[in-house]
Structure 1
Amino acid sequence: MAGAWLPLVWAGVLVWGLGVMVAVGQDVNADTPDSLSEAAGEERVPLPDAAKYCIIGAGPAGLQLGYYMQKANRDYVILDRAPRPGSFFEHHPIHRKLISINKRYTGKTNRDYNLRHDWNSLLTDDEAMPMFTNYTPDFWPSADVYTQYLRDFALTYNLNIAYNTNVDAIVPLSDVTCHEDSCDARRAHYALLTTDNPPLHCEVVVMATGMYQPYVPDGVNATDYTPCGEASIDPEHYAGKNVMILGKGNSALEVGTTASERANYVHFLSRTRIRLAWQTHYVGDIRAVNGLLLDMYQLKSQDGFMEADARRTKLQKCDDGKFRQFRNGVPLYGKGAIRHPYDEVINCMGYRFDADPLIAGGIQPNFTTTARKYLSLDDWYQADTAKHLYVAGTAAHSRDYRKSSGGFIHGFRYLTRTLYHLLMERYEATPLPYTEMHYCDVMDKIVDRINHASSIYQMFHVLGDVIVIDPETWMLQYYEDMPVSQVATRFADKFTLTVTLEYKEDFSCPGCDTVRKGRATGGFENAHKSNFLHPVIRLNRPGFHYAKKLREFHLVEDFWTEFNTMRNHLHPLATHLGRLVPMAIRECTTWKEALEYKPKGRSKTGGVSGIRALEQLIDPSEGSNSKKKAIVDETLLVDEEE
């Protein structure tokens, strides 16, 4: 039966409306009638003639954005060419095993913390929808189970999705008023041309289409190559064959692992060197679970990896059905590394953003690379050549490519939530959400966030918490999950602290020895030398120049990723915040224990550089005020090397 459900492992399943409520450690009931999953797509939502927000794509990013639109009762519609949500996962990966981890047991009950190790669940503000960890206990889950989860998500929250609707062109309009009966005096910036429907007028377009167009370099004739998504998953298919795979990513190695069981030779070719995720800390690089053939290569089995440009290699199919290297139109026999013919060439060079609807509508897109893989976006995730057109999901990875996790569900679910708030600010005049608090409460908030928040944990370096300080009252506005790239311009005239989680910049690279002896730092005195993910707090005060150790404060990395020990974390953090605002030392009684803690063997600076009080800097002329005077080293105001 289509969309088969997994067997029930434990009892206690409660059906709640269209959602399924389960306790932690229980699986969604596979024997529940298939109507919940199969209903998705059976009823097609009528396509309106206008909508304020038009979301193209009903994959994870489209559903995530749709959830927030539906919750706020916004005028939106999601369009998808398939009859069901998440159709990409019905065919990919072809081996059906996801490499996005699904860790059911973490030893914690905090839902946000558990999302650090659940890379598949979408975000919700309620528990009407169970987390994906309740669908299967498998650490590497099946893509078939994930398609079921996405269908249930769309139904549980009654998302407004027009299935079987292909967008052929996105046509920009110049101040054209929407249909007066349905637009409420809004302006349409785009008309979406869809198959068998009248044009759909949209004020805002969000492309959440993912990356599904196979990448073939210009100048490569791939007509006779097997597309990666169509490669056989039957080892017997490769029996006795020589196989060449173009690409060295996870998909390439998954196909190669299958082929190697029966093939004579399996070779891999691409321009770039092998990149291992455990060296680069980039989840898109080769994961250890796919590293078997790297072992075989190093142990001199009949598998190999080479660096060469597919455009110059020119593997072409000959009359005998074999693939050989050609040069100047002539096959090369017995020369070079590619001197023997191959029986099959498989193109696993990845996917890229499908810009055809933009081009068809007359929009000339900019791309971030010559491979035209990602659309160029500004820091609002808006296309830089098309105002009011945004990108969400995997395709928005251009903003943090190879820097963070925005190309993957566990990262872009947070970027999509942030995009929603940005859209609400820009088009609904709704301020970005923040919490107002007194300075004395900020330490507890920071400690909670760095220990539990999944957003800044997954989107390291990219999303951060921003604390805007009122120097008159010392009241704070605490913003969560702000794009760090926006802080300088958005709060150009404000005192701010940013809280992020980061790896040390030079710790990760292809070929870096990330398991070397001495890779970790254990003492708070050397917190700034931390290599692994750890909290970083930065200070910005317009018009003042600080030494780096004042602008940038590190809390030392922790083996358990728990930044709450008194010696290494709470005392240094309280001391740092107290030096920012000396009155806090007197008034913030909740900090007393942390401030009065006396670590043994503490160095002169203790890893927490003294900072001239912000209250003293409100007006430099008031620096002599005895009530506000702070005894600090004046040399700390400028970089030591200066």
Structure 2
Amino acid sequence: MDFRMRHDWNSLLGADTLGIAPMTARTTELYPHADVLVQYLRDYAVHLSGHIRFNTKVVRLSREDEHFHLEIQSTNASGEQRAQRLVQRCGLVVLAVGLTPSLPQDVVGSHLLTGYEELEPSGSAYENRSVLVWGFGNAAHETARELQKYTQAVTLLHRERSDTFDLWKASSSALPRFAFFTHYPGDVRTVTMQIYDSYLLKALDVKLPYSSQDEEPVFLPCPPQLCVWVSKRQRCAGGGFEGQILPLRHVRATERRECVVEVGPLPLHAERQLRRRLRTTAVEGRDFVWRGATPRSWRAEQALTQRLRELGFGDLGSSG
């Protein structure tokens, strides 16, 4: 039993006494498909049907005489509550509330994103497209791994860890907490780390960190694409707090969340292309401002690009 508890992390305790086949008897995969786990839990529900209440809502929770009192109310399949309420008495209460909506509401353009819980089982909808995954946990790495089968490129956008070593803080390649270092299975597992293989071997996949202290991402529609910037928080306001995001623009806390991002400097052809994409959805001076470049800086950039080509680096130094 001790050996199984240590090495069979997919099976639950008590399977032997209930006569429920463990996960090791249902699949030979080390990381089983989620459908196998669902059927496993359904088998548990059948055996414990007399001890489980389905479609039940906890209306009130209190504690008296070292025991918990749960006032519960049943609902029907459509979610309508029944009139009768019951009180259940118990010694222990475990909160297992499950997944909650993961999209933050205080980030500009969050309504343009697709949440983890909304993803389709197959990534075929992203065939030959460039996809950005926002996050740095197992869910984000798992999503990136699955989408790599279909997409042209995956960008992993994430906050820098606040507990990283000083050496990592100064590097744009700051890494997440890996389970094989921390021995905590909630940290990033090796099975989800495929994106680092392609990223470190200089494929098209990209990892982009931003400061968790004073920066935040901003999402704007750029039909037929999505434009993503990382902006300073002081350039954003509204949605709960006030701020002066431009010298002549002050946003009140009661107004919708707004953010001004600096764009550029970009090559002229790239700037014209981006202006066309932003024209129908964003307003210059309200949503973004251009950060221009002097002719001297453009000449220096062109000289650097030419020198890189002469050294055999191809288009490594080209812009756009």
How would you bin the TM-score normalised by the shorter chain?
0.5 to 0.7
Q: For residues 308-364 of structure 1, what are the alpha-carbon distances to aligned partners after superposition, in whole Å with 9 as ceiling and x for unaligned?
A: 25783332232635233265433443369xx998x9xxxxxxxxxxxxxxxxxxxxx
What is the match of residue 170 of structure 2? none
Aligned amino acid, residue 99 of structure 2: Y
- Counterparts of 1:161 and 1:173, CA distance in 2: 21
Q: For residues 74-131 of structure 1, what are the alpha-carbon distances to aligned partners after superposition, in whole Å with 9 as ceiling and x for unaligned?
A: xxxxxxxxxxxxxxxxxxxxxxxxxxxxxxxxxxxxx431232111222126262232
Which stretches of structure 1, 4 residues or longer, exceed 4 Å deviation after superposition?
none
- Counterparts of 1:264 and 1:291, CA distance in 2: 18
Change (3 A) 1:162 1:304: same
What is the match of residue 19 of structure 2? 128
- State TM-score, norm by structure 2: 0.57
- Counterparts of 2:103 and 2:125, CA distance in 1: 24
Q: Is 1:116 equivalent to 2:3 in the alignment?
A: no
Q: For residues 202-250 of structure 1, what are the alpha-carbon distances to aligned partners after superposition, in whole Å with 9 as ceiling and x for unaligned?
A: 3336234243113345632522210012224444422343322111222
1:285 to 187, 190, 204: 187
Q: For residues 535-591 of structure 1, what are the alpha-carbon distances to aligned partners after superposition, in whole Å with 9 as ceiling and x for unaligned?
A: xxxxxxxxxxxxxxxxxxxxxxxxxxxxxxxxxxxxxxxxxxxxxxxxxxxxxxxxx
What is the match of residue 72 of structure 2? 192
1:233–1:258: 8 Å Cα contact kept in structure 2? no
Change (3 A) 1:158 1:206: same
Deviation at 1:298, TM superposition (A): 0.8
1:315 to 187, 199, 218: 218
What is the match of residue 220 of structure 1? 107
2:20 partner SS: coil
Change (3 A) 1:275 1:173: closer
Q: How does 1:39-438 map to 2 (within 5 A)?
A: 111-124=1-14, 126=17, 128-167=19-58, 169-172=59-62, 189-195=69-75, 196-197=81-82, 198-204=84-90, 206-217=93-104, 219-221=106-108, 222-271=110-159, 272=161, 273-309=175-211, 312-318=215-221, 320=223, 322-325=226-229, 327=235, 328=245, 329-334=259-264
- Counterparts of 2:228 and 2:67, CA distance in 1: 57
Q: For residues 250-288 of structure 1, what are the alpha-carbon distances to aligned partners after superposition, in whole Å with 9 as ceiling and x for unaligned?
A: 221222123233434311122224222222222122222
Q: Structure 1 or 2: larger strand share? A: 2
Aligned amino acid, residue 316 of structure 1: F
Aligned amino acid, residue 29 of structure 2: D
Q: For residues 457-511 of structure 1, what are the alpha-carbon distances to aligned partners after superposition, in whole Å with 9 as ceiling and x for unaligned?
A: xxxxxxxxxxxxxxxxxxxxxxxxxxxxxxxxxxxxxxxxxxxxxxxxxxxxxxx
Which has the bigger relative contact order, CA under 8 A and spacing at least 6?
Answer: 1
- State TM-score, norm by structure 1: 0.31
- Counterparts of 2:124 and 2:223, CA distance in 1: 22
- Counterparts of 2:143 and 2:12, CA distance in 1: 29
Q: Which has the larger radius of gyration?
A: 1
2:112–2:221: 8 Å Cα contact kept in structure 1? no
- Counterparts of 1:112 and 1:319, CA distance in 2: 56
Aligned amino acid, residue 217 of structure 2: K
Change (3 A) 1:255 1:335: farther
Change (3 A) 1:331 1:132: same
1:193–1:199: 8 Å Cα contact kept in structure 2? yes
- Counterparts of 2:183 and 2:67, CA distance in 1: 44
- Counterparts of 1:191 and 1:235, CA distance in 2: 43
Change (3 A) 1:305 1:170: farther
Could you say what the CA RMSD is over the residues aligned between the two structures, in angstroms?
A: 3.4
1:188–1:201: 8 Å Cα contact kept in structure 2? no
- Counterparts of 2:42 and 2:120, CA distance in 1: 27
1:250–1:286: 8 Å Cα contact kept in structure 2? yes
Change (3 A) 1:288 1:317: same
- Counterparts of 2:118 and 2:102, CA distance in 1: 14
- Counterparts of 1:330 and 1:274, CA distance in 2: 29
Change (3 A) 1:260 1:334: farther
Aligned amino acid, residue 220 of structure 2: K
Q: How does 1:464-613 map to 2 (within 5 A)?
A: none
Deviation at 1:299, TM superposition (A): 1.0
2:147 partner SS: helix
Change (3 A) 1:126 1:189: closer
Change (3 A) 1:233 1:151: closer
2:218–2:228: 8 Å Cα contact kept in structure 1? yes
Change (3 A) 1:166 1:192: closer
1:115 partner SS: helix
- Counterparts of 1:323 and 1:258, CA distance in 2: 23
Change (3 A) 1:263 1:145: closer
2:55–2:74: 8 Å Cα contact kept in structure 1? no
Number of aligned residue pairs: give it: 219
Deviation at 1:147, TM superposition (A): 1.4
- Counterparts of 1:250 and 1:319, CA distance in 2: 29
1:148 partner SS: helix
- Counterparts of 2:151 and 2:57, CA distance in 1: 40
- Counterparts of 2:89 and 2:53, CA distance in 1: 18
Deviation at 1:189, TM superposition (A): 3.5
What is the match of residue 473 of structure 1? none
Change (3 A) 1:123 1:259: closer
What is the match of residue 638 of structure 1? none
Change (3 A) 1:159 1:149: farther
